[in-house]
Structure 1
Amino acid sequence: MTNFSRIPVILFAVAIFSGAFLLFLVQPMVAKRILPWFGGGPGVWMACLMFYQTTLFFGYLYAHGLVRFFSIKSQVWLHGLVLLVAWVVLPVLPTDRWRPSPSDDPSLAIGVLLLAHVFVPFLSLAATGPLLQAWFARGYPERSPYVLYAVSNAGSFVALFLFPMVMEPVFSLEQSGQIWSIGFGLMSILILSSGLWVLRAGLSQSDSSPSIEAGRNFELNSKSINVSLWISLSACAVVLLMAITNLLCLDVASVPFLWALPLGIYLLSFIVCFSSEKAYKRSLWILIALLGLSVQYVVSALFPEFNAFQRVHNSVLFQIFIFSLILLSLCMLLHGELYRLRPPSRSLTSFYLAVSGGGAVGGLFVGGLAAQIFNDYHEVTTGYLGSLLLLFFVFSRGKTSWLSFQRNPWRSALILGLSLIMAGYWFKESMREPEGLILKERSFFGVVRVVDWDAEGSNDKRRVIRHGTTVHGVQLLEEELQGVPTSYYGVVTGIGLAMQQRSPDVPIRMGVLGLGVGTMAAYGREADEFRFYEIDPVIIEMASQSDYFTYIDDSAAEVEIISGDARLALQEEWEANGSQEFDFLVVDAFSSDSIPVHLLTRESLELYVRHLKENGVLAFHISNRYFNLEPIVYRLSKELGLSSISVRNARAGLRRGSASWWVFLSPSEKRIRGFRVFLEGQRRRMGQGSERLSIREIPDFLAIRAPLWTDDHSSLLGILFNWN
């Protein structure tokens, strides 16, 4: 069938767009459901990406098998059956019975959970794109089906940003899941309608329709080389995507929603390159890639004393910009060459199978293997090196290319030599460690460093734990100062003042969500009990060893550390033994700017209160560079009928306390009122420095206007713009 008909073309385009839209909509939706169960860190997203890339491969493998071994009629009916099975296993959102135990391996638990709930629907959606494009190629052999791949990536691109900007603020998670299920049903109708059109058109497997021409670099007689390049180009692009996402979100800046930027750039390069061969300008993107890599790694090293440049170069915004530019340029080159190597449409599903296989290899490397063989994000350098060598090989094969080995072997060899020297330099730079590094380890939750640090303008030598860009705790190294609580736990901070109000002869039982270096243990007295909850085993190991930090060992209190997600552990303790009867429960998990929302919902607050004594105090540390969490906490306190007070202090030096913001809640109004009287007395004693301590209650009308976060409905984007 070669006559052009607008309606079937629109049908195919809408069906492919819808399938890709749902394919990418389910990813952040399911990730949001399971993030609270695994600590809320970017490692969860990396594990999900690894699973999705692998399942995408199986979806393309299934589509390739259908097209190669079955008739058109059998393809339509078999895919309809798979869609029906996928509909039966809905919804894709796992229920609470799938919550892991605190001691479960997160990577394995995430894989099992996604396999049970997402695999079949995701596989059916993944197969839709190549399958419909193969059908389209039979119906319109004179038209390129590869344009529909750009349409597919456009659907993915829209879904990526629609969820956080529209669905998350407006709908609850359960409502989003229901909408997705309805969308899946409608999309299935579109797919089956496309299949029925194919059947009505009378196309069969034996149709010998002319095939569209291949890409300019496709070699008919070099099948194995072509397939190897399809896999390698795709794998390098995914390695760069996941590696740069890891680096940006964990080591450059924990900026909200930053994880979406690299994925958006990756999809954009697909859309541009596969829309038309004319859209890809090789020389332009080579120039941009070399410029970006040179500015990031060469210029900064050649001019270390150029302070103005170094200040700009080291700024968070510049780092986000330059890594995004490098990712865009290299993905444009990789995907542009991939499109130039595309086969005729008769080999379309083989091409997509190889592309998805490369994506799976890249995902497994970054999401699984890299964390086992590297103690830092060296997969970024590996991605650069692999991409540049692969691109050089592709360029040198072209007979008309400036880098053609056949035209000028000496020039090609020179460029290759210079590239290897530059790559070696980049690798050397990536291995360079900061001064004072004592220990570095990598886990599922990121790279953690113990560093001795001499701050400018201070005589206090200190040791810190750094987790990416976040300092998790500080201890002074002078022997007589090692027991001094520092940073946002200092004596003039909200929690430090709360500790001063304690009765001297009455022991307390305290729970702390977030271990850091164990600074809170410095307030422990004989007969006190301190119970820390920490999800990262590397943090536990570093804070517990007196070779690194001594707060835990030197504490006069009885100290216990519970490994695993704090909320899951508290829930298990409640179900097994009832309340922990805490006098104080400190929740310090929000200063890293990567907000674990599951620790700040109505359900979590109800759990915390159950573990308090009748006059116990719940203390939230809400210091944050991007979010104002005070209205959220106050709204929760009003919802549960708790009394509350907010305490902010200015910076008072490392020995006394960093600038911090604490909110205290209690079922006992008398307890909060007494604490306020104590704080007012402390402020009067400060005299002229009294303005450095702020005590307040937020107006009721403002608290009521704040959104009520629940396990089913919360949106960081809303408070990012509405409350700052």
Structure 2
Amino acid sequence: MTYPFHQQAPLAEPVKMTTFILSVFSSAFLLFQVQPIIARFILPWYGGSSSVWSACMLFFQLGLVVGYAYAHLIVTVFRDRRVLQIGIHFALLFLAVITLPITPDPSMKPGAEETLPLLGIIRLLVQTVGIPYVILAASGPLVQHWFSRVYPDRSPFRLYAVSNVGSLLALLSYPFLFEVYLTVSRQSMLWSLGFVVYALVLGVAGFVYLQAGAMVNTTNSESPDPISEKRDIAPGFTHYLRWILFSACGSILLLAVTNQICQDVAVVPFLWILPLALYLLSFIIAFDRARWYFRPIAVPALAVSVGLVIILLNRFFESVHWPMVGQIVIFCSALFFSCLVCHGEIVRIKPTSRFLTQFYLAISVGGALGGIFVNLVAPHLFDSYYELHIGILLLATLLTWQVLPQFISSCRRSQGQSGTETSAPSRLALAAVAGILWCGAMGFAVFGLHTHIQNDKEGVTFSSRGFFGVLKVKESRALTGQTYHTLIHGQIHHGMQFEDLGLSKIPTSYFARQSGIGSTFEFIPQRFDGNNEPLHVGVIGLGVGTLAAYARPGDRFRFYEINPQVIEVAHSHFTYLKDCQGEVVNVLGDGRISLEQELVQSSGSGNAFDILIIDAFSGDSIPMHLLTAEAFDLYLRHMKEDGVLAFHITNKHVDLSDPLRKHAGRYRWGSMRLGSNPENGIGSAAEWVIITRNYPLIDRFFQNDRIYHWKHEKPRDILWTDNFGNVFKVLK
């Protein structure tokens, strides 16, 4: 069979090589650029939870498996039928182009009836980026296969390093370039344009591949490959098993570390991207040159960094001893060296280029299995985040399995050498020391992780894990001897209540009577000087329902809560809602989306709240979508003219006062900072920002010396919107 392509003038060699490089680079860049774009777009739709990114990662990993499986199938079935192979692939590529742009339609927003957010996110991603993503995922192994057929004397694995460089640049450029200067919708349009450019570049690479096939055919070659592949030894079962398990281990650790960082800092693209960038960097180092992965350095570094993580876990993230930056550095160091070992060990047993596509398929399957474990299996097995523990122990086991045969073989060779040689006893002694150190490290890891789990469960009477994180109810005893229960989400307390009937109806913690919100209820005109006018209060974030303690007969309290487990716990383990003197309504769903829907249902009149309280934190992470200009505009449409907006901004790591002051300034509303100190074990140190045009209330705050000075005399120029937001500017 002959092709018409041999009649065309062949492209210059530098052009051919550049085409393959650009095809792999652009596909990888777009593949990893779309991940933060689409996740950033839908993050507010699912409550700003770190689980949104984890769910997106699961989809991306599954999409990678589908893409790699498709690439393996097409090059296996149509190995010698290049025209048909190219025709099928470019037909699918055209189908991907006509599905652009990738911007999700607002009608895809989840409603309150959405009971399975994980499945909802995956369904949304399939509809918006499914086909383009699979095509991009397939491009890496497919183009490397084309390259190996055009240049059989060159290693295609170097292109894998090029692919990872493109992925890394995509991730690093997003938080510092694209997110800063482009709206999310423009990011989506620019990405779609980039996909069209990629399709054109890939078309040239396909032409080069076909042209090379025509030239091979016209020279009457007996085989499409100039070198015989029959001499290649096929990988065995243990090879596939180790590729999959090491890849799964790296994926588990990536997601576990990302969840740990995001739940205690902020759910922002940079803190998604940093761990993923280190994950990819380990791929680049391992796959570019095998000798770059050097066990005598990588393994000890792994042991030290993981040891620090175990120590950090057993310190319970005390900010006095472990500042935020230090925590991030420790976790990221452990992740990098763990992934470097995982991927370095994979490269040590990689196959020849003949088995390239199934090699990449096995790696992608391992990554997907890790994502499935973290997102689907672990929440049913564990009532807390213990997949980090599993990942560490799995890596130690796999590394032992990989190294032990070589270690035993080396010891045997040393014993078999002549006794006159001094090097043999030295090697045996060194091996013995290494074995003792390794066993000691394994013992320390098991002991430290077990200790953390035991401490984590101490005093816990209830624990539940869901899409929005881990909830725990812990029983403790105050210095006065009275027993109280605390709701813990992540590492942060979200309300407490005493068992004693005389204290159980008293607002506590961040909501005590001397707190900013307590002062608001005390001095608002409807309550001041004996007034007893009914209040209509909205609260985003239920917690244990502490704020219901401020209700009087005739008041209406409307709580918005995205996590159904929080509502269940507030009713089953605490009594604030049960004891409430006013009317209580629980609205299930993201507070902002629920307010948007209620605004439409009320024909724009809103709820006419006297007080709207924003207290929706997961750990110390920032609910950025509840603090943007668009969110602020929505709140005001639900307020009375003299209403009060109250934001709870207590946080160990960031100061949220400046963005709120900027929002208040846009509408010429007054903004005040109210704080409180612990009161006899009932209250907690808390910081509130009150925004209002209720001047009698403001005067009473001043008269009673309840207002604290701002940390900055003038607010810094920080204005968050749905399209723009930079958490670094608010770091303490």
Structure 2-normalised TM-score? 0.86
Correspondences of 1:181-330 after superposition (within 5 Å): 181-202=192-213, 206-210=223-227, 220=233, 222-250=235-263, 254=266, 257-297=270-310, 316-330=324-338
Distance of 1:571 and 1:127 partners within structure 2 = 40
Equivalent of 2:704 in 682, 686, 692? 682
Q: How far 1:69 sits from its partner (Å)?
A: 1.6
The amino acid that maps onto 2:369 is: V
Distance of 2:327 and 2:721 partners within structure 1 = 34
Cross-structure match for 2:66 = 58
Range moving further from structure 2, 525-534 or 577-586: 577-586
Does structure 1 conserve the Cα–Cα contact (< 8 Å) formed by 2:161 and 2:287? yes
Distance of 1:473 and 1:323 partners within structure 2 = 28
Q: Call closer, same or farther: CA 1:489–1:335 in 2, change over 3 Å.
A: same
Cross-structure match for 2:464 = 441
Q: How far 1:377 sits from its partner (Å)?
A: 1.9
Q: Secondary structure at the match of 1:572?
A: helix
Cross-structure match for 1:481 = 503
- Determine if the alignment matches structure 1 residue 693 to structure 2 residue 708: yes
Does structure 2 conserve the Cα–Cα contact (< 8 Å) formed by 1:645 and 1:695? no
Q: Secondary structure at the match of 1:481?
A: coil
Distance of 1:636 and 1:620 partners within structure 2 = 12
Q: How far 1:531 sits from its partner (Å)?
A: 1.0
Distance of 1:589 and 1:662 partners within structure 2 = 13
Cross-structure match for 2:379 = 371
Does structure 2 conserve the Cα–Cα contact (< 8 Å) formed by 1:527 and 1:557? yes
Does structure 2 conserve the Cα–Cα contact (< 8 Å) formed by 1:63 and 1:131? yes
Unaligned runs of 5+ in 2: 1-5, 218-222, 417-427
Correspondences of 1:509-658 after superposition (within 5 Å): 509-545=536-572, 548-578=573-603, 579-589=606-616, 592-639=619-666, 641=667, 643-653=669-679, 657-658=683-684
Q: What per-residue deviation string (whole Å, max 9, x for no partner) do you get for residues 14-41 of structure 1?
A: 2211111111111111111111111101
Q: Call closer, same or farther: CA 1:151–1:403 in 2, change over 3 Å.
A: farther
Distance of 1:110 and 1:600 partners within structure 2 = 23
Correspondences of 1:470-509 after superposition (within 5 Å): 470-501=492-523, 502-503=526-527, 504-509=531-536
Distance of 1:213 and 1:266 partners within structure 2 = 35
- Determine if the alignment matches structure 1 residue 103 to structure 2 residue 113: yes
Correspondences of 1:91-170 after superposition (within 5 Å): 91-104=101-114, 105-170=116-181
Does structure 1 conserve the Cα–Cα contact (< 8 Å) formed by 2:305 and 2:333? yes
Distance of 2:580 and 2:312 partners within structure 1 = 48
Q: How far 1:629 sits from its partner (Å)?
A: 3.0
- Determine if the alignment matches structure 1 residue 428 to structure 2 residue 450: yes
Q: How far 1:121 sits from its partner (Å)?
A: 0.8
The amino acid that maps onto 1:366 is: V
Distance of 1:145 and 1:572 partners within structure 2 = 53
Q: What per-residue deviation string (whole Å, max 9, x for no partner) do you get for residues 318-355 of structure 1?
A: 54333333322221221111112111111111111111
The amino acid that maps onto 1:232 is: L
Q: Call closer, same or farther: CA 1:695–1:297 in 2, change over 3 Å.
A: closer
Q: What per-residue deviation string (whole Å, max 9, x for no partner) do you get for residues 650-703 of structure 1?
A: 42536675443333334xx4x2x22211112212xxxxxx7x73489976xx57
Q: Secondary structure at the match of 1:259?
A: helix
Q: Secondary structure at the match of 1:487?
A: coil
Does structure 2 conserve the Cα–Cα contact (< 8 Å) formed by 1:269 and 1:335? yes
Unaligned runs of 5+ in 1: 684-689
Q: Secondary structure at the match of 2:532?
A: coil
Cross-structure match for 1:687 = none
Distance of 1:357 and 1:365 partners within structure 2 = 12
- Determine if the alignment matches structure 1 residue 360 to structure 2 residue 383: no
Q: Secondary structure at the match of 1:165?
A: helix
Q: Secondary structure at the match of 1:65?
A: helix
Q: Secondary structure at the match of 2:271?
A: coil
Q: Call closer, same or farther: CA 1:146–1:387 in 2, change over 3 Å.
A: same
Q: Secondary structure at the match of 2:642?
A: strand
Q: What per-residue deviation string (whole Å, max 9, x for no partner) do you get for residues 491-547 of structure 1?
A: 2332211101233321111110011121111111111111111111222222222xx
Equivalent of 1:32 in 29, 37, 40? 40
Does structure 1 conserve the Cα–Cα contact (< 8 Å) formed by 2:11 and 2:208? no
Cross-structure match for 2:347 = 339
Distance of 2:174 and 2:609 partners within structure 1 = 39
Distance of 1:4 and 1:387 partners within structure 2 = 46
Q: How far 1:448 sits from its partner (Å)?
A: 1.5
Q: How far 1:314 sits from its partner (Å)?
A: 5.7
Q: How far 1:229 sits from its partner (Å)?
A: 2.0
Distance of 2:318 and 2:571 partners within structure 1 = 37
Cross-structure match for 2:87 = 77
Cross-structure match for 1:663 = 689
- Determine if the alignment matches structure 1 residue 86 to structure 2 residue 96: yes
Q: Call closer, same or farther: CA 1:224–1:76 in 2, change over 3 Å.
A: same
Q: How far 1:145 sits from its partner (Å)?
A: 0.9
The amino acid that maps onto 2:304 is: L
Q: Call closer, same or farther: CA 1:494–1:10 in 2, change over 3 Å.
A: same
Q: What per-residue deviation string (whole Å, max 9, x for no partner) do you get for residues 247-277 of structure 1?
A: 3333x65586433332122111101000101
Q: Secondary structure at the match of 1:8?
A: helix
Does structure 1 conserve the Cα–Cα contact (< 8 Å) formed by 2:265 and 2:653? no
Q: What per-residue deviation string (whole Å, max 9, x for no partner) do you get for residues 98-136 of structure 1?
A: 001023021111011011111101101101111111111
Q: How far 1:401 sits from its partner (Å)?
A: 5.8
Q: Secondary structure at the match of 2:210?
A: helix
Q: How far 1:417 sits from its partner (Å)?
A: 7.8
Cross-structure match for 2:726 = 716
Range moving further from structure 2, 437-446 or 390-399: 390-399
Q: How far 1:422 sits from its partner (Å)?
A: 5.8
Q: Secondary structure at the match of 1:102?
A: coil
Equivalent of 1:452 in 460, 472, 475? 475
Distance of 1:589 and 1:242 partners within structure 2 = 23
Q: How far 1:478 sits from its partner (Å)?
A: 4.4
Q: Call closer, same or farther: CA 1:406–1:420 in 2, change over 3 Å.
A: farther
Does structure 2 conserve the Cα–Cα contact (< 8 Å) formed by 1:438 and 1:452? yes
Q: Secondary structure at the match of 1:615?
A: strand
Range moving further from structure 2, 586-595 or 224-233: 586-595
Distance of 1:719 and 1:16 partners within structure 2 = 36
The amino acid that maps onto 1:120 is: I
Q: Call closer, same or farther: CA 1:212–1:389 in 2, change over 3 Å.
A: farther
